[in-house]
Structures are given as C-alpha cells and as structure tokens.
Amino acid sequence: MKIYENTGNKDTRSGFGAGLTELGQTNENVVALCADLIGSLKMDAFKANHPERFYQVGIAEANMIGIAAGLTIGGKIPFTGTFANFSTGRVYDQIRQSVAYSGKNVKICASHAGITLGEDGATHQILEDIGLMKMLPGMTVINTCDYNQTKAATLAVADHNGPVYLRFGRPKVANFTTENQKFEIGKAVNLTEGNDVTIVATGHLVWEALEAAKVLNEEGISAEVINIHTIKPLDSTAILESVSKTGCIVTAEEHNYLGGLGESISRVLAKNKPAPQEFVATNDTFGESGTPAQLMDKYGLSSKAIIQASKKVISRK
Amino acid sequence: MPNIQKLQDLTTQVRRDILRMVHKVNSGHPGGSLGCAEFFVALYEEIMDRKDHFEMNGIGEDLFFLSNGHISPVYYSVLARSGYFSVDELNTFRLINSRLQGHPTTHEGLEGIRIASGSLGQGMSVAIGAAQAKKLNNDSHLIYSLHGDGELQEGQNWEAIMYASAKKVDNIISTIDLNGKQIDGTTDDVLPMGSIKQKFEAFGWTVVEIEEGNNMEGILEGMAEAKSRTGKGQPVCVLLKTEMGNGVDFMMHTHAWHGKAPNDEQLEIALKQNAETLGDY
C-alpha cells in the first residue's frame, strides 16, 4: 500500500493563516474579521499586511457574522475567524438568516474544532458543528486534514461563490498531503487502494485512518482510505465506487456520530447501495479537559478505534 | 423643494396597499407598516440617492436595510411604487410561489432587497458591514437602516452599536421606529428600555430626534439634519417617533394591530379613511 510521509507536525490553523496571508496579496476583495482571537486563528500576518481590510470586532461574534454579510454587498469576500463553537452554535441564527438564506459569500473559518482543542474542555470543544452547518441549505462544509490541505482549501474557497464553513483545529498534527496541492471543493481524495474495507475520514482522523490502514495491511487486510474534506456537497460517486469494491465502510470524524459525516454517508448508501457501516465518532457526548492524544483515545477517535471498527465491519459483510 | 402633497398622496396610496395586502391573506403586520409609511416614502422618493434599477452590490448609490422585517408590507409597497418591480406583484404577498415572502428575502430575487430580515436584531450589523464596504470602495454614498424600538431588546444590536462608534462608521444613518409598542404590549410594559437617546449617546452615536415621525415635512427636515451629521467620525441615529397604525383611526393608540389583519368590514372603514390617490394595484 501507498505510505504517506509525515513531513513534520503542524497545526491546521497555521495552514489557514498561511492561505489567508497569500489571499491578501492575490485578491484585493478578500477582507478578514476576527472576534478577539487573532493569534489563535493565525490572522496576524493578514492584519499586519492589510490593516484597512482587517476588522477586529471584539468579543461579539453575532455582530461579526452580520458585518461579514454586509461586506459582501459591496463586493467583498469576508473571512470570519473564531473558534468553531463560536463560529456556529453561538451565531446559528445570524448565519441562517443573514448568510445562508440571504446567499451571502461569507467564509466562516473555524479553528479549535472538535475534542482536540484539549485542556479548555467541553465548553469550547464543539462536536456538533458539522451537523449544524450541513443542515443549512446552500452551505458548503469543509473539514481539512492537515496544514497543506488547509492552506489549499483556504485559497480555494475564495474562488467559490457562496457561503462556506471551513473547519480546522488547534493541535499540531501530521502534515502529509502535498504542498501547493490543488484543492477541489466537493471532490474526495483517494489515499490508498484496497479491497477489503473502505475507510472514509475527514479532518484530523484522516491521518489516524492512514495509520490504521498500515496496521491492517500488516495483518493482511487491505483498506481503501478516502479523504472526504468536503462533507457538503458530498462526493457520493467516490464513496459508492469504493464500497462497490470493498462491500463495507468505516467513517471516521472528530464529531458526534449524530449529524456528522457518517450520517451523510449512511444516507448515500441507503439510497444507492446499502452496505455495513461502522462509525468512528463521539457517542452523543460532550468532551472534557485533557491532552488531545488522551481525549482521542478516551473518546474512541484513534487509529486503534478505526482498526477495531474495520474488523467489525468486515465481519458484518 | 419637494412636492409635499405628492409625497402625501403616495403615502396614502401606500397605506391602501398595506391594508389590502394584509387583508387579502388575513396575515401580516399592518401596525408598524402604517406607522412607517411616511418615512419609507420620504426615504425612497426624496432622501436616498439611488439608481433607477437594482444591483445587489449597490456601489455608487445610497442603500437601505430593513431590520424589522415584519413590516414588509410598507417595504414592498414603496419598492414597487418606486419602480423596482410591478405594483401588480403586490397581489402575491404571502401567497405560495411569491417573491413577496412574509418577511423580506433575497432568496426569491426580489429587486430592492439586499438581505433577509425577520429574525430580529440582525440588520444593524449587516448595515454596518455594507457601510464599511462603501468606505473600502471609496464610495461616498450612505447606508440607511430601520429598526423597531422593541427590536433593541435583542442583544446583537448593542454589539453593533458599540462597534459602529468604535470604528467611526460615520456613513450610516440608523433610524429607530419609536412607536413604543411590541407584540405583547407597550415597550414599557414588556421591557422598559429607559432613554434610548441616552443609550445611543453613551455608545458614541450622534442622535437626531424627529418628534413627528408621521409628518412628511418633519421627516424630511430631520433626515436632512441627520445627513448633515454624517462624515464627522460618529454613526448617526435617528429617533423617529411614530404612531403604530397611523392613518386608520381604530388601529392607532394600541398595539393590537401589530400582527393582525383587518376583516372585510374593517378594511372598508380603513380604506374610506385613505381615499385612492395613485390607483390601487
């Protein structure tokens, strides 16, 4: 099987910051807004380079979303930055009415998503945001897996006309996708070829899926790992093609199994090609304080959990 | 000099439109719509410098945002009678497959609407964003917005009010419809808000008061004053004292007609008090 090299751990939010910095130079319509988390969102460089296009709104996320919607009316492409919890749950109605229903070209960029936010605990660890955002008509939902992909996605969403939820995280994780890759919204990336089980992962769980595939491979189980970075619109063709070959699927995400990627895939399978599916996701629970690694292990989001789920789903074929 | 009689005739026709629209579908919000009829007519006919056709980005013209979207009847009537779409389309208000949704939306592509509103408290932030885009575009035109007084109970407004003065957004004129009423009663009964003037001033806004918000000349004078205060480093707030249900005697001095349509008999009485001027749709 194809082996991916970790070129060094990096945080996905820094990929966002690098992408935004580049957009500042290449697209004069791009503006950025932040609700008192410039350092955490890695928006410092954009702010320094383009102070006239940067809006510090203070701790007022609802106002930030509304201002972003208004900025689009003058032809601007606003990128809002705050933690995922405050980017979604806190401002859901503002996004629903002023952005999604109004069809505004706002890019909602959310860091510190999921349980790997770590020690701050459950108040900040949103595990429901993919569900919230994918339910909004017209909203594109992206969850990137590493630094390089996050940078590429940040560049790509600027060229997409319509509201986007771009989800990434806090911890330094393996950086293994190619530098300067072309990011195609809505297009799955096949990482390894396999015949026994399809593993579809998004966000930080993609690297865990690759680690799991290596172990499975050593045990004679051939896993096809697919990176779904775009949860909506979902690349159902790629999923169905793979499941036609493997006959079963594991979905892996740093999110509640309710409302997440796994449920979106279940719908595709139920409509087109029913197949056994196992869910690697949090089990309708809040998180807690701890290190990212401890939390991934405790809440069943590690490569170990993906290996177990793969064996179980193969046995159900 | 504006022709006041012409503006008043249009206002009377707008009142008829509002009453007939909500009567036909037995739903909608006539009270606040009637109370703001003069303001909308003044805004679209005299105050705003606007293009004669609709462009979403609004570059090179003044823009208006309605935050209290439930007064859509007056908005639709004035937009239609200002030429954004056919007045015949007012017939479709709140009906299935209509562009004239219960609350205004961009979703159906209705000319004149730049943001959906209805869920309260969001319009000021949007208006501020549009104002900041104008500054980035070196566009010297102004942003106007309208908000209910009860709507100020929504916290997002105060985030926006704090932000606008801090960022010196001085190309915006936000008008508060001070009719003192909301669904459950008077604003003082529901949640007393104290002095809205002092609150805006404490938040760093310039405040202009229009004591007679249903008097065309008073509105024109007050809005001219407000316009003269723009560009001086502070956002401008207009406190427009209106009478909910204005122009229909039995709808005035009560909150009862906030969201209730007249029946056949009530419509007839109301229309008699507002004789046709420019022709019904």
pLDDT in tens, B23-35: 999 999 999 999 9
Report yes or no: A69 at the B interface, CB cutoff 8 Å: yes
Set out the domains of chain A in order of their start, with CATH numbers.
Answer: 10-173 (3.40.50.970), 189-315 (3.40.50.920)
> Which residues does residue B147 pair with via DSSP β-bridges, in sequence order?
B176
- Could you say which of A28, A61, A208, A241 is catalytic? A61
Residue of A nearest to B139 (CA): A74
Best residue in B70, B125, B161 for a mutation probing chain A (most A CBs within 10 Å)? B125
What's the pTM value of the predicted model, to 2 decimals? 0.97
CATH of the domain at B221: 3.40.50.970
Q: What is the pLDDT of residue B1?
A: 78
Partner residue facing B130 (CB), from A60, A73, A103 = A73
Domain span at residue B131 reads 4-272
Q: Do B130 and A71 touch (CB under 8 A)?
A: yes
Paired tokens of A10: 């990096």
Paired tokens of B279: 């022709």
CB < 8 Å to B122, chain A? 62, 66, 93-94, 97-98
Mean pLDDT of B247-275: 97
Angle at B159 (CA atoms; ends B156, B162), nearest 5 degrees: 145
Please state the φ and ψ torsions of residue A19, each to the nearest 5 degrees: -65, -40
pLDDT digits (tens, 9 = 90+) for B177-206: 999 999 999 999 999 999 999 999 999 999
Q: How confident is the model at residue B13 (pLDDT cuts 50, 70, 90)?
A: very high
Q: Running DSSP on this structure, what letter comes out for residue A186?
A: T
ipTM over 0.85: yes
Q: Is residue B15 scored above 90 in pLDDT?
A: yes
Residue of A nearest to B121 (CA): A94
Q: What is the pLDDT of residue A179?
A: 96
CB < 8 Å to B124, chain A? 66
Q: How confident is the model at residue B64 (pLDDT cuts 50, 70, 90)?
A: very high
Q: Flag whether B277 is in a domain.
A: no
Number of domains present in the structure of chain B: 1
Report yes or no: A161 at the B interface, CB cutoff 8 Å: no
Task: Evaluate whether B14 touches B40 at the Cβ level (below 8 Å).
Answer: yes
Q: Flag whether B162 is in a domain.
A: yes
Classify B220 as helix, strand or coil.
helix
Q: What is the pLDDT of residue A252?
A: 98
Q: What is the average pLDDT score of chain B? A: 97
Q: Do A62 and B107 touch (CB under 8 A)?
A: no
CB < 8 Å to A98, chain B? 115-116, 122, 125-126
Report yes or no: A96 at the B interface, CB cutoff 8 Å: yes
Q: Do B115 and A74 touch (CB under 8 A)?
A: no
Q: Is residue B149 scored above 90 in pLDDT?
A: yes
Paired tokens of B142: 């102004």
Which stretches of chain B sit within 8 Å of chain A by CB? 56-59, 63, 65, 105-107, 114-119, 122-134, 136-137, 139, 155-156, 159-160, 162-163, 166-167
Q: Flag whether B65 is in a domain.
A: yes
Report yes or no: A90 at the B interface, CB cutoff 8 Å: no
Residue of A nearest to B55 (CA): A73
pLDDT digits (tens, 9 = 90+) for B214-243: 999 999 999 999 999 999 999 999 999 999
Q: Flag whether B279 is in a domain.
A: no
Q: Is A218 a catalytic residue?
A: no
Please state the φ and ψ torsions of residue A29, each to the nearest 5 degrees: -80, -15
Residue with tokens 């996708």: A177
Q: Flag whether B233 is in a domain.
A: yes
Q: Do A93 and B107 touch (CB under 8 A)?
A: no
Half-sphere exposure of A317 (CA within 13 A, CB side): 18
Query: What's the length of chain A?
Result: 317
Q: Which amino acid is at B116?
A: A
Q: Which amino acid is at B213?
A: G
Residue B1's contacts (CB-CB under 8 Å, 6 or more residues apart) are none
CA distances from B123 to B117, B136, B170 (A): 7, 20, 17
Query: What's the length of chain B?
Result: 281
- Which residues of chain A are modeled with pLDDT < 50? none
For B121-241, list the strands marked E by DSSP: 143-148, 172-178, 181-182, 185-186, 206-210, 236-241
Q: How far is A163 from chain B (nearest CA, A)?
A: 14
Residue of A nearest to B123 (CA): A66
Mean pLDDT of B31-41: 98
Q: How confident is the model at residue B276 (pLDDT cuts 50, 70, 90)?
A: very high
Best residue in B159, B162, B168, B203 for a mutation probing chain A (most A CBs within 10 Å)? B159
Please state the φ and ψ torsions of residue A251, each to the nearest 5 degrees: -110, 140
Calculated CA dihedral for residues B81, B87, B90, B91, nearest 10 degrees:
150
Please state the φ and ψ torsions of residue B204, each to the nearest 5 degrees: 90, 20
Residue of A nearest to B164 (CA): A57
Residue A28's contacts (CB-CB under 8 Å, 6 or more residues apart) are A53
Please state the φ and ψ torsions of residue B67, each to the nearest 5 degrees: -85, -40
Residue with tokens 């719509």: B33
Residue B76's contacts (CB-CB under 8 Å, 6 or more residues apart) are B17, B21, B90, B93, B100, B104
| Distance, C-alpha B115 to centroid of its chain | 14
Continuous segment of H or E residues that includes residue A281: strand A277-282
Residue with tokens 């956002």: B235
Q: Distance (Å, rounded) from C-alpha A32 to C-alpha B159?
A: 18
